[in-house]
Structure 1
Amino acid sequence: MEKCFRILAKEQLSPSVFKMEVEDYFVAQKALPGQFLILRINEEGERIPLTIYKAHPQKQSFEIVFLVVGKTTKVLSQLNKDDCIKDILGPLGRPSEIPRNKTLVFLGGGVGIAEILPLAKAAKEAGNKIVIIAGFRSQEYVILEEEMRTLSDSLFITTDDGSYGRRGFNTEVLKEMLSKEKIDLVYTCGPVLMMQKAAEITKTLGVGCIASLNALMVDGTGMCGSCRVLVGGKVKLCCVDGPDFDAHQVDFSDLINRQNRFREEEKRVYG
Protein backbone atom coordinates (compact mmCIF):
# COMPACT_ATOMS: atom_id res chain seq x y z
CA MET A 1 0.00 0.00 0.00
CA GLU A 2 1.27 3.46 -0.91
CA LYS A 3 2.26 5.56 2.10
CA CYS A 4 -0.13 8.31 3.12
CA PHE A 5 0.75 11.29 5.30
CA ARG A 6 -2.56 11.74 7.10
CA ILE A 7 -3.74 15.10 8.41
CA LEU A 8 -4.67 14.74 12.08
CA ALA A 9 -5.88 18.28 12.77
CA LYS A 10 -6.35 21.63 11.05
CA GLU A 11 -6.87 25.12 12.45
CA GLN A 12 -7.22 28.50 10.75
CA LEU A 13 -5.14 31.05 12.68
CA SER A 14 -5.94 34.14 10.60
CA PRO A 15 -7.64 34.96 7.29
CA SER A 16 -4.66 33.55 5.37
CA VAL A 17 -2.66 31.42 7.83
CA PHE A 18 -3.36 27.78 8.72
CA LYS A 19 -1.91 25.23 11.13
CA MET A 20 -1.92 21.49 10.44
CA GLU A 21 -0.84 18.45 12.40
CA VAL A 22 0.38 15.63 10.16
CA GLU A 23 1.15 12.01 11.00
CA ASP A 24 4.73 10.85 10.33
CA TYR A 25 7.05 8.92 12.62
CA PHE A 26 10.35 9.93 11.02
CA VAL A 27 9.86 13.71 10.99
CA ALA A 28 8.40 13.58 14.50
CA GLN A 29 11.48 11.77 15.84
CA LYS A 30 14.22 13.60 13.94
CA ALA A 31 13.15 17.24 13.54
CA LEU A 32 15.23 19.91 15.28
CA PRO A 33 14.56 23.67 15.63
CA GLY A 34 15.27 25.55 12.41
CA GLN A 35 14.69 22.61 10.08
CA PHE A 36 12.07 22.36 7.37
CA LEU A 37 10.45 19.85 5.04
CA ILE A 38 9.40 19.64 1.41
CA LEU A 39 5.88 18.46 0.62
CA ARG A 40 3.86 17.62 -2.46
CA ILE A 41 0.11 17.40 -2.06
CA ASN A 42 -0.62 15.09 -4.99
CA GLU A 43 0.90 13.52 -8.09
CA GLU A 44 0.40 16.68 -10.18
CA GLY A 45 1.47 19.11 -7.47
CA GLU A 46 4.60 21.20 -7.03
CA ARG A 47 7.08 20.77 -4.19
CA ILE A 48 7.12 23.51 -1.56
CA PRO A 49 9.24 24.05 1.59
CA LEU A 50 7.57 24.58 4.96
CA THR A 51 9.11 25.06 8.38
CA ILE A 52 8.45 22.38 11.00
CA TYR A 53 6.60 24.32 13.70
CA LYS A 54 6.40 21.55 16.29
CA ALA A 55 7.36 17.87 16.51
CA HIS A 56 5.52 15.39 18.73
CA PRO A 57 7.67 12.24 19.02
CA GLN A 58 5.24 10.41 21.30
CA LYS A 59 2.28 11.10 19.02
CA GLN A 60 4.38 10.39 15.90
CA SER A 61 3.25 13.66 14.35
CA PHE A 62 4.41 17.18 13.58
CA GLU A 63 2.85 20.57 12.93
CA ILE A 64 3.25 23.06 10.11
CA VAL A 65 2.04 26.64 9.89
CA PHE A 66 1.69 28.16 6.43
CA LEU A 67 0.50 31.26 4.64
CA VAL A 68 -1.75 30.98 1.58
CA VAL A 69 0.28 32.75 -1.10
CA GLY A 70 -0.21 30.65 -4.23
CA LYS A 71 -1.96 27.69 -5.82
CA THR A 72 -0.29 24.96 -3.77
CA THR A 73 -0.81 26.58 -0.37
CA LYS A 74 -4.41 27.36 -1.39
CA VAL A 75 -5.04 23.68 -2.18
CA LEU A 76 -3.28 22.66 1.04
CA SER A 77 -5.53 24.99 3.05
CA GLN A 78 -8.59 23.26 1.58
CA LEU A 79 -7.59 19.83 2.90
CA ASN A 80 -9.17 18.63 6.12
CA LYS A 81 -8.72 16.11 8.93
CA ASP A 82 -8.06 12.57 7.61
CA ASP A 83 -7.13 13.83 4.13
CA CYS A 84 -3.74 12.75 2.82
CA ILE A 85 -0.59 14.48 1.60
CA LYS A 86 1.23 12.41 -1.01
CA ASP A 87 4.90 13.21 -0.36
CA ILE A 88 6.87 14.63 2.56
CA LEU A 89 10.66 14.86 2.62
CA GLY A 90 12.39 15.93 5.80
CA PRO A 91 13.65 17.08 8.10
CA LEU A 92 15.96 19.15 5.89
CA GLY A 93 18.43 21.98 6.45
CA ARG A 94 20.90 22.64 9.21
CA PRO A 95 19.42 22.95 12.72
CA SER A 96 19.77 26.37 14.31
CA GLU A 97 22.69 26.97 16.66
CA ILE A 98 21.41 28.02 20.08
CA PRO A 99 23.68 29.87 22.55
CA ARG A 100 23.34 29.61 26.33
CA ASN A 101 22.69 32.18 29.02
CA LYS A 102 22.38 35.17 26.69
CA THR A 103 19.77 37.82 25.96
CA LEU A 104 18.24 37.09 22.58
CA VAL A 105 15.75 38.96 20.43
CA PHE A 106 13.47 37.06 18.06
CA LEU A 107 12.13 39.37 15.36
CA GLY A 108 9.34 37.90 13.28
CA GLY A 109 6.93 39.22 10.71
CA GLY A 110 3.61 37.58 9.84
CA VAL A 111 3.89 33.82 9.41
CA GLY A 112 7.62 34.16 10.16
CA ILE A 113 6.56 34.10 13.83
CA ALA A 114 5.79 30.40 13.45
CA GLU A 115 9.31 29.85 12.15
CA ILE A 116 11.10 31.56 15.03
CA LEU A 117 9.00 30.15 17.89
CA PRO A 118 10.69 26.72 17.80
CA LEU A 119 14.04 28.51 18.11
CA ALA A 120 12.72 30.66 20.96
CA LYS A 121 11.53 27.55 22.79
CA ALA A 122 14.92 25.85 22.42
CA ALA A 123 16.68 29.05 23.49
CA LYS A 124 14.46 29.35 26.57
CA GLU A 125 15.32 25.78 27.56
CA ALA A 126 19.02 26.66 27.16
CA GLY A 127 18.77 29.36 29.82
CA ASN A 128 18.50 32.42 27.60
CA LYS A 129 16.40 35.52 28.21
CA ILE A 130 13.87 35.74 25.39
CA VAL A 131 12.53 38.93 23.81
CA ILE A 132 10.02 38.54 20.98
CA ILE A 133 9.16 41.42 18.66
CA ALA A 134 6.31 40.43 16.34
CA GLY A 135 4.95 42.47 13.47
CA PHE A 136 1.61 42.00 11.68
CA ARG A 137 -0.50 43.83 9.12
CA SER A 138 -3.45 44.33 11.50
CA GLN A 139 -5.13 42.73 14.51
CA GLU A 140 -6.95 40.06 12.51
CA TYR A 141 -3.60 38.75 11.25
CA VAL A 142 -2.03 38.33 14.71
CA ILE A 143 -1.19 34.65 15.25
CA LEU A 144 0.18 32.48 18.06
CA GLU A 145 -0.01 35.25 20.65
CA GLU A 146 -0.54 32.87 23.58
CA GLU A 147 2.51 30.84 22.55
CA MET A 148 4.60 34.01 22.24
CA ARG A 149 3.59 35.18 25.70
CA THR A 150 4.38 31.79 27.23
CA LEU A 151 7.88 31.65 25.73
CA SER A 152 9.00 35.25 26.07
CA ASP A 153 10.32 37.26 28.98
CA SER A 154 9.25 40.37 27.04
CA LEU A 155 6.82 40.55 24.13
CA PHE A 156 6.23 43.47 21.77
CA ILE A 157 3.52 43.32 19.09
CA THR A 158 3.20 45.87 16.32
CA THR A 159 0.61 46.29 13.59
CA ASP A 160 0.99 48.39 10.48
CA ASP A 161 -2.36 50.12 11.04
CA GLY A 162 -2.22 50.40 14.85
CA SER A 163 -5.28 48.17 15.35
CA TYR A 164 -3.41 46.10 17.98
CA GLY A 165 -0.29 46.73 19.99
CA ARG A 166 1.99 49.49 18.81
CA ARG A 167 1.43 51.19 15.48
CA GLY A 168 4.28 50.85 13.00
CA PHE A 169 6.95 48.31 12.13
CA ASN A 170 8.63 45.81 14.42
CA THR A 171 12.04 46.95 13.18
CA GLU A 172 11.40 50.34 14.81
CA VAL A 173 10.99 48.59 18.17
CA LEU A 174 14.17 46.61 17.48
CA LYS A 175 16.17 49.76 16.81
CA GLU A 176 14.93 51.44 19.99
CA MET A 177 15.68 48.37 22.10
CA LEU A 178 19.20 47.87 20.75
CA SER A 179 19.94 51.53 21.42
CA LYS A 180 19.00 51.20 25.10
CA GLU A 181 19.65 47.60 26.17
CA LYS A 182 22.42 45.02 25.90
CA ILE A 183 21.30 42.37 23.44
CA ASP A 184 23.66 39.54 22.55
CA LEU A 185 22.06 38.28 19.34
CA VAL A 186 19.04 38.82 17.09
CA TYR A 187 17.24 36.08 15.15
CA THR A 188 14.90 37.17 12.38
CA CYS A 189 12.49 35.50 9.98
CA GLY A 190 9.73 36.91 7.82
CA PRO A 191 9.42 39.24 4.83
CA VAL A 192 12.75 39.80 3.07
CA LEU A 193 12.54 43.59 3.39
CA MET A 194 12.03 43.25 7.16
CA MET A 195 15.07 40.97 7.49
CA GLN A 196 17.12 43.36 5.36
CA LYS A 197 16.18 46.26 7.64
CA ALA A 198 17.02 44.19 10.72
CA ALA A 199 20.42 43.39 9.23
CA GLU A 200 21.11 47.09 8.61
CA ILE A 201 20.06 48.11 12.13
CA THR A 202 22.02 45.39 13.93
CA LYS A 203 25.13 45.95 11.82
CA THR A 204 25.10 49.68 12.56
CA LEU A 205 24.70 49.05 16.29
CA GLY A 206 27.24 46.22 16.45
CA VAL A 207 24.87 43.38 17.35
CA GLY A 208 24.96 39.97 15.66
CA CYS A 209 21.97 38.95 13.56
CA ILE A 210 20.94 35.57 12.16
CA ALA A 211 18.40 35.49 9.32
CA SER A 212 16.40 32.39 8.48
CA LEU A 213 15.97 32.73 4.72
CA ASN A 214 12.91 31.51 2.87
CA ALA A 215 14.32 31.28 -0.66
CA LEU A 216 12.40 29.52 -3.41
CA MET A 217 13.18 25.78 -3.44
CA VAL A 218 12.44 22.80 -5.65
CA ASP A 219 14.15 19.64 -4.39
CA GLY A 220 15.49 20.80 -1.02
CA THR A 221 18.62 18.65 -1.20
CA GLY A 222 21.09 20.90 -3.04
CA MET A 223 20.71 19.47 -6.56
CA CYS A 224 18.64 22.13 -8.36
CA GLY A 225 20.34 25.30 -7.13
CA SER A 226 17.04 27.18 -7.09
CA CYS A 227 17.53 28.45 -3.54
CA ARG A 228 21.03 29.83 -4.01
CA VAL A 229 21.86 33.07 -2.22
CA LEU A 230 24.96 35.25 -1.97
CA VAL A 231 26.47 35.28 1.50
CA GLY A 232 29.73 37.15 1.96
CA GLY A 233 30.10 37.21 -1.82
CA LYS A 234 29.92 33.42 -2.08
CA VAL A 235 27.09 31.26 -3.40
CA LYS A 236 25.29 29.29 -0.71
CA LEU A 237 22.26 27.02 -0.90
CA CYS A 238 19.51 27.66 1.62
CA CYS A 239 18.46 24.02 1.66
CA VAL A 240 21.81 22.48 2.64
CA ASP A 241 23.91 25.41 3.91
CA GLY A 242 21.03 27.10 5.71
CA PRO A 243 18.37 28.23 6.19
CA ASP A 244 20.20 30.28 8.87
CA PHE A 245 22.87 32.75 7.74
CA ASP A 246 24.75 35.73 9.13
CA ALA A 247 22.36 38.50 8.11
CA HIS A 248 25.21 41.02 7.80
CA GLN A 249 26.71 38.91 5.01
CA VAL A 250 23.51 38.24 3.01
CA ASP A 251 23.02 40.06 -0.30
CA PHE A 252 19.36 40.91 0.19
CA SER A 253 19.04 42.76 -3.11
CA ASP A 254 20.02 39.61 -4.99
CA LEU A 255 17.61 37.56 -2.84
CA ILE A 256 14.72 39.92 -3.61
CA ASN A 257 15.41 39.67 -7.34
CA ARG A 258 15.50 35.87 -7.22
CA GLN A 259 12.30 35.69 -5.18
CA ASN A 260 10.47 37.54 -7.96
CA ARG A 261 11.68 35.48 -10.89
CA PHE A 262 8.53 33.32 -11.17
CA ARG A 263 6.06 36.14 -10.55
CA GLU A 264 4.42 35.94 -13.98
CA GLU A 265 4.00 32.17 -13.80
CA GLU A 266 2.44 32.51 -10.36
CA LYS A 267 -0.05 35.06 -11.66
CA ARG A 268 -1.11 32.74 -14.48
CA VAL A 269 -1.89 29.78 -12.22
CA TYR A 270 -3.24 31.63 -9.17
CA GLY A 271 -4.31 35.07 -10.34
Structure 2
Amino acid sequence: MYTVTKIEELSPGVKAFVIKAPLIAHKCQPGQFVILRIDEDGERIPLTIADFNREAGTISLIFQEVGRTSRQLGALCTGETILDVAGPLGQATHIKQFGTVVCIGGGIGVAPVYPIARAYKEAGNKVISIIGARNADLLILEKEMAAVSDTLYITTDDGSKGCKGLVINPLQELIADGEKIALVMAIGPVIMMRGVADVTRPYGIPTIVSLNPIMVDGTGMCGGCRVSVANQNKFACVDGPEFNAHEVDFDGLMTRQRIYREHEKMEHRFEGGCSCHR
Protein backbone atom coordinates (compact mmCIF):
# COMPACT_ATOMS: atom_id res chain seq x y z
CA MET A 1 0.00 0.00 0.00
CA TYR A 2 1.25 3.47 -0.92
CA THR A 3 0.25 6.36 1.33
CA VAL A 4 -0.75 9.76 -0.04
CA THR A 5 1.19 12.22 2.13
CA LYS A 6 0.26 15.51 0.47
CA ILE A 7 -2.39 16.80 -1.94
CA GLU A 8 -2.41 20.11 -3.77
CA GLU A 9 -4.85 21.45 -6.35
CA LEU A 10 -2.74 23.19 -9.00
CA SER A 11 -5.60 24.38 -11.18
CA PRO A 12 -9.26 23.45 -11.64
CA GLY A 13 -9.38 19.67 -11.99
CA VAL A 14 -5.58 19.23 -11.80
CA LYS A 15 -4.08 17.78 -8.61
CA ALA A 16 -0.60 16.94 -7.38
CA PHE A 17 -0.17 13.95 -5.10
CA VAL A 18 2.94 13.20 -3.07
CA ILE A 19 3.09 9.46 -2.46
CA LYS A 20 5.33 7.45 -0.16
CA ALA A 21 7.18 5.06 -2.49
CA PRO A 22 10.81 4.74 -1.28
CA LEU A 23 11.99 2.08 -3.73
CA ILE A 24 10.65 3.98 -6.74
CA ALA A 25 11.98 7.30 -5.42
CA HIS A 26 15.43 5.74 -5.03
CA LYS A 27 15.65 4.52 -8.64
CA CYS A 28 13.49 6.80 -10.80
CA GLN A 29 14.93 9.26 -13.31
CA PRO A 30 13.39 12.20 -15.22
CA GLY A 31 11.15 11.02 -18.04
CA GLN A 32 9.98 7.79 -16.38
CA PHE A 33 6.47 6.86 -15.24
CA VAL A 34 4.56 4.54 -12.93
CA ILE A 35 1.49 2.36 -13.27
CA LEU A 36 -0.99 2.66 -10.43
CA ARG A 37 -4.15 0.87 -9.38
CA ILE A 38 -6.27 2.49 -6.71
CA ASP A 39 -7.90 -0.69 -5.41
CA GLU A 40 -8.55 -4.30 -6.34
CA ASP A 41 -11.40 -3.35 -8.67
CA GLY A 42 -9.58 -0.42 -10.24
CA GLU A 43 -8.03 -0.15 -13.69
CA ARG A 44 -4.30 0.30 -14.17
CA ILE A 45 -3.26 3.73 -15.43
CA PRO A 46 0.14 5.23 -16.30
CA LEU A 47 1.21 8.55 -14.78
CA THR A 48 4.51 10.30 -15.38
CA ILE A 49 6.65 11.01 -12.32
CA ALA A 50 6.55 14.79 -11.94
CA ASP A 51 9.07 14.97 -9.10
CA PHE A 52 10.84 12.79 -6.55
CA ASN A 53 12.59 13.14 -3.21
CA ARG A 54 15.06 10.35 -2.60
CA GLU A 55 15.71 11.30 1.03
CA ALA A 56 12.03 11.42 1.93
CA GLY A 57 11.25 8.37 -0.21
CA THR A 58 8.42 10.09 -2.07
CA ILE A 59 7.33 10.68 -5.64
CA SER A 60 4.96 13.32 -7.02
CA LEU A 61 2.24 12.58 -9.54
CA ILE A 62 0.23 15.28 -11.30
CA PHE A 63 -2.99 14.34 -13.07
CA GLN A 64 -6.15 15.86 -14.48
CA GLU A 65 -9.54 14.63 -13.30
CA VAL A 66 -11.18 13.68 -16.57
CA GLY A 67 -12.61 10.16 -16.41
CA ARG A 68 -13.78 7.70 -13.78
CA THR A 69 -10.39 6.56 -12.49
CA SER A 70 -8.76 9.98 -12.34
CA ARG A 71 -11.81 11.35 -10.52
CA GLN A 72 -11.67 8.44 -8.06
CA LEU A 73 -7.98 9.14 -7.52
CA GLY A 74 -8.70 12.83 -7.00
CA ALA A 75 -11.28 11.99 -4.32
CA LEU A 76 -8.64 10.45 -2.05
CA CYS A 77 -7.58 12.36 1.04
CA THR A 78 -4.20 12.80 2.70
CA GLY A 79 -3.34 9.67 4.66
CA GLU A 80 -5.33 7.33 2.42
CA THR A 81 -3.59 4.67 0.38
CA ILE A 82 -3.25 3.43 -3.19
CA LEU A 83 -3.08 -0.33 -3.65
CA ASP A 84 -0.42 -0.59 -6.38
CA VAL A 85 2.24 1.77 -7.71
CA ALA A 86 4.66 -0.03 -10.04
CA GLY A 87 7.78 1.56 -11.46
CA PRO A 88 9.87 3.28 -12.47
CA LEU A 89 8.95 2.33 -16.04
CA GLY A 90 9.97 3.62 -19.47
CA GLN A 91 13.29 4.90 -20.74
CA ALA A 92 14.77 7.80 -18.80
CA THR A 93 15.60 11.11 -20.48
CA HIS A 94 19.12 11.31 -21.87
CA ILE A 95 20.67 14.05 -19.75
CA LYS A 96 24.02 15.64 -20.55
CA GLN A 97 25.48 19.06 -21.28
CA PHE A 98 24.19 20.03 -24.72
CA GLY A 99 24.43 23.81 -24.53
CA THR A 100 21.14 25.67 -24.82
CA VAL A 101 18.08 23.49 -24.28
CA VAL A 102 14.52 24.69 -24.84
CA CYS A 103 11.95 22.84 -22.71
CA ILE A 104 8.33 23.21 -23.80
CA GLY A 105 5.29 22.09 -21.84
CA GLY A 106 1.68 22.45 -22.91
CA GLY A 107 -1.16 22.08 -20.41
CA ILE A 108 -0.67 19.11 -18.10
CA GLY A 109 2.51 18.36 -20.08
CA VAL A 110 4.32 20.92 -17.92
CA ALA A 111 4.33 18.32 -15.13
CA PRO A 112 6.70 15.81 -16.83
CA VAL A 113 8.74 18.65 -18.36
CA TYR A 114 9.63 20.06 -14.93
CA PRO A 115 12.01 17.32 -13.66
CA ILE A 116 13.58 17.12 -17.12
CA ALA A 117 14.26 20.87 -17.24
CA ARG A 118 15.73 20.69 -13.74
CA ALA A 119 18.03 17.83 -14.73
CA TYR A 120 19.22 19.70 -17.84
CA LYS A 121 19.97 22.73 -15.66
CA GLU A 122 21.87 20.63 -13.12
CA ALA A 123 23.93 19.17 -15.98
CA GLY A 124 25.17 22.66 -16.85
CA ASN A 125 22.86 23.59 -19.73
CA LYS A 126 21.31 26.96 -20.41
CA VAL A 127 17.62 26.18 -20.04
CA ILE A 128 14.95 28.24 -21.80
CA SER A 129 11.46 27.09 -20.89
CA ILE A 130 8.13 27.75 -22.57
CA ILE A 131 4.90 26.76 -20.87
CA GLY A 132 1.38 27.31 -22.10
CA ALA A 133 -2.29 26.68 -21.40
CA ARG A 134 -5.68 27.75 -22.66
CA ASN A 135 -5.92 30.43 -19.96
CA ALA A 136 -4.15 31.70 -16.85
CA ASP A 137 -6.22 29.52 -14.50
CA LEU A 138 -4.95 26.37 -16.17
CA LEU A 139 -1.25 27.18 -15.96
CA ILE A 140 0.70 24.94 -13.57
CA LEU A 141 4.18 24.91 -12.00
CA GLU A 142 5.06 28.45 -13.01
CA LYS A 143 7.31 29.10 -10.00
CA GLU A 144 8.94 25.69 -10.23
CA MET A 145 9.73 26.10 -13.93
CA ALA A 146 11.07 29.61 -13.36
CA ALA A 147 13.39 28.31 -10.65
CA VAL A 148 15.09 25.80 -13.00
CA SER A 149 15.14 28.01 -16.10
CA ASP A 150 17.43 30.80 -17.23
CA THR A 151 14.44 32.29 -19.06
CA LEU A 152 10.77 31.37 -18.82
CA TYR A 153 8.15 32.27 -21.43
CA ILE A 154 4.44 31.90 -20.69
CA THR A 155 1.73 31.72 -23.33
CA THR A 156 -2.05 31.46 -23.09
CA ASP A 157 -4.53 30.95 -25.88
CA ASP A 158 -6.67 33.86 -24.68
CA GLY A 159 -3.84 36.18 -23.62
CA SER A 160 -4.92 36.18 -19.96
CA LYS A 161 -1.28 35.71 -18.92
CA GLY A 162 2.02 36.04 -20.74
CA CYS A 163 1.93 36.20 -24.53
CA LYS A 164 -1.29 35.50 -26.38
CA GLY A 165 -0.82 32.54 -28.68
CA LEU A 166 0.77 29.11 -28.80
CA VAL A 167 3.95 27.75 -27.26
CA ILE A 168 5.51 27.59 -30.70
CA ASN A 169 5.43 31.40 -31.01
CA PRO A 170 8.30 32.09 -28.55
CA LEU A 171 10.21 29.19 -30.09
CA GLN A 172 9.90 30.74 -33.53
CA GLU A 173 11.07 34.08 -32.13
CA LEU A 174 14.11 32.50 -30.46
CA ILE A 175 15.13 30.87 -33.74
CA ALA A 176 14.56 34.09 -35.68
CA ASP A 177 16.68 36.01 -33.15
CA GLY A 178 19.59 33.64 -33.76
CA GLU A 179 19.53 31.75 -30.45
CA LYS A 180 21.87 28.75 -30.84
CA ILE A 181 19.56 25.98 -29.69
CA ALA A 182 21.22 22.60 -29.20
CA LEU A 183 18.07 20.66 -28.25
CA VAL A 184 14.33 21.10 -27.89
CA MET A 185 12.25 18.94 -25.52
CA ALA A 186 8.46 19.15 -25.87
CA ILE A 187 5.66 17.45 -23.94
CA GLY A 188 1.96 18.17 -24.26
CA PRO A 189 -0.99 17.44 -26.55
CA VAL A 190 -0.03 15.52 -29.66
CA ILE A 191 -1.01 18.41 -31.93
CA MET A 192 1.26 20.72 -29.94
CA MET A 193 4.21 18.34 -30.21
CA ARG A 194 3.65 18.04 -33.94
CA GLY A 195 3.66 21.84 -34.19
CA VAL A 196 7.00 22.05 -32.37
CA ALA A 197 8.48 19.42 -34.69
CA ASP A 198 7.27 21.36 -37.72
CA VAL A 199 8.98 24.51 -36.44
CA THR A 200 12.37 22.94 -35.71
CA ARG A 201 12.59 20.54 -38.67
CA PRO A 202 13.63 23.11 -41.34
CA TYR A 203 16.49 24.26 -39.10
CA GLY A 204 17.73 20.79 -38.23
CA ILE A 205 17.37 21.45 -34.49
CA PRO A 206 17.32 18.11 -32.62
CA THR A 207 13.88 17.77 -31.05
CA ILE A 208 12.58 15.19 -28.59
CA VAL A 209 8.93 14.59 -27.75
CA SER A 210 7.46 12.44 -25.01
CA LEU A 211 4.46 10.41 -26.12
CA ASN A 212 3.25 9.66 -22.61
CA PRO A 213 -0.18 11.22 -23.38
CA ILE A 214 -1.03 8.27 -25.63
CA MET A 215 -0.13 5.48 -23.18
CA VAL A 216 -2.87 3.26 -21.77
CA ASP A 217 -1.70 -0.09 -20.36
CA GLY A 218 1.98 0.80 -19.95
CA THR A 219 3.40 -2.66 -20.66
CA GLY A 220 3.36 -2.83 -24.46
CA MET A 221 0.60 -5.46 -24.49
CA CYS A 222 -2.50 -3.43 -25.39
CA GLY A 223 -1.07 -1.69 -28.46
CA GLY A 224 -2.83 1.55 -27.58
CA CYS A 225 0.40 3.56 -27.73
CA ARG A 226 1.68 2.08 -30.99
CA VAL A 227 3.33 4.71 -33.14
CA SER A 228 5.40 4.73 -36.31
CA VAL A 229 8.87 6.17 -35.71
CA ALA A 230 11.31 6.24 -38.64
CA ASN A 231 8.90 3.87 -40.44
CA GLN A 232 9.13 1.31 -37.64
CA ASN A 233 6.39 0.37 -35.19
CA LYS A 234 7.24 1.41 -31.65
CA PHE A 235 5.37 1.37 -28.35
CA ALA A 236 5.58 4.57 -26.32
CA CYS A 237 5.47 2.77 -22.99
CA VAL A 238 8.36 0.33 -23.51
CA ASP A 239 10.40 1.85 -26.35
CA GLY A 240 9.89 5.42 -25.11
CA PRO A 241 8.13 7.48 -24.04
CA GLU A 242 10.65 9.83 -25.70
CA PHE A 243 11.38 9.82 -29.43
CA ASN A 244 13.01 11.91 -32.12
CA ALA A 245 10.19 14.28 -33.03
CA HIS A 246 11.25 14.49 -36.66
CA GLU A 247 10.84 10.72 -37.05
CA VAL A 248 7.37 10.41 -35.47
CA ASP A 249 4.43 9.89 -37.83
CA PHE A 250 2.14 12.43 -36.15
CA ASP A 251 -0.48 12.28 -38.91
CA GLY A 252 -0.92 8.53 -38.46
CA LEU A 253 -0.94 8.89 -34.70
CA MET A 254 -3.63 11.57 -34.72
CA THR A 255 -5.75 9.58 -37.16
CA ARG A 256 -5.67 6.57 -34.81
CA GLN A 257 -6.64 8.75 -31.86
CA ARG A 258 -9.72 10.03 -33.70
CA ILE A 259 -11.00 6.49 -34.20
CA TYR A 260 -12.20 6.35 -30.59
CA ARG A 261 -13.74 9.82 -30.45
CA GLU A 262 -17.36 8.79 -31.06
CA HIS A 263 -17.03 5.81 -28.71
CA GLU A 264 -15.72 8.10 -25.97
CA LYS A 265 -18.65 10.50 -26.46
CA MET A 266 -21.08 7.59 -26.06
CA GLU A 267 -19.31 6.31 -22.95
CA HIS A 268 -19.49 9.73 -21.31
CA ARG A 269 -23.29 9.51 -21.34
CA PHE A 270 -22.87 7.00 -18.54
CA GLU A 271 -21.53 7.83 -15.11
CA GLY A 272 -17.79 7.43 -14.86
CA GLY A 273 -17.00 7.93 -18.50
CA CYS A 274 -14.61 5.94 -20.61
CA SER A 275 -11.47 4.25 -19.33
CA CYS A 276 -9.58 5.91 -22.17
CA HIS A 277 -9.96 9.12 -20.16
CA ARG A 278 -8.69 7.50 -16.97
Q: TM-score when scaled to structure 2?
A: 0.92
Structure 2 residue 216 is the aligned partner of structure 1 residue 252:
no
Q: Deviations over 1:224-270 (max 9, x none)?
A: 32211100110011111100000000011222233344434544142
* Distance in 2, Cα, partners of 1:216 & 1:210: 16
Question: Structure 1 vs Structure 2: percent identity of aligned residues?
Answer: 46
Q: Is 1:91 matched with 2:88?
A: yes
Hey, what's the Cα distance between the residues in 2 that align with 1:134 and 1:89? 29
CA contact (8 A) 1:215 1:255 kept: no
Q: Which runs of 5+ in 1 are unaligned?
A: none
5+ long unaligned stretches in structure 2: none
Deviation at residue 43 of structure 1 after TM alignment: 1.9
Corresponding pairs, count: 268
1:270 equivalent in structure 2: 273
Q: Is the 8 A contact 1:53 1:114 kept in 2?
A: yes
Match of 2:235 in 1: 237
Aligned residue for 1:54?
51
Q: 2:173 aligns with which of 171, 176, 184?
A: 176
Structure 1 residue 61, shift from structure 2 partner:
1.2
The separation in 2 between residues aligned to 1:184 and 1:227, in whole angstroms, is 28
CA contact (8 A) 2:33 2:90 kept: yes
Checking the alignment, whether the CA contact within 8 Å between 1:215 and 1:238 is kept in structure 2 is: no
Question: What one-letter code is carried by the residue in structure 2 that aligns with 1:167?
Answer: K
Distance 1:263 1:82, change over 3 A: farther
Q: Distance in 2 between matches of 1:259 and 1:70?
A: 17
Distance 1:258 1:39, change over 3 A: farther
Aligned to 1:225: 223
Q: Hey, what's the Cα distance between the residues in 2 that align with 1:179 and 1:206?
A: 14
Could you tell me which of 142, 152, 158 is aligned with 2:149? 152
Q: How big is the alpha-carbon RMSD for the aligned residues of Structure 1 and Structure 2?
A: 1.5
Runs of 4+ in 1 over 6 A off after TM superposition: none
- Determine the C-alpha separation between the residues in 2 that align with 1:50 and 1:155: 25
CA offsets 1:83-110 (integer angstroms, 9 cap, x no match): 1111111100000001305100001101
How big is the shift at 1:17? 1.1
Q: Is the 8 A contact 1:109 1:194 kept in 2?
A: yes
TM-score by length of 1: 0.94
Match of 2:13 among 16, 23, 27: 16
Structure 2 counterparts to residues 44-193 of structure 1, below 5 A: 44-180=41-177, 181-193=179-191
C-alpha contact 2:98 2:182 (8 A) present in aligned 1: no
Task: Kindly provide the CA deviation profile for residues 188-218 of structure 1, in whole angstroms up to 9, marking residues without a partner as x.
Answer: 0001111000001000122110001125434
8 Å contact from structure 1 (residues 215, 259) kept in 2: no
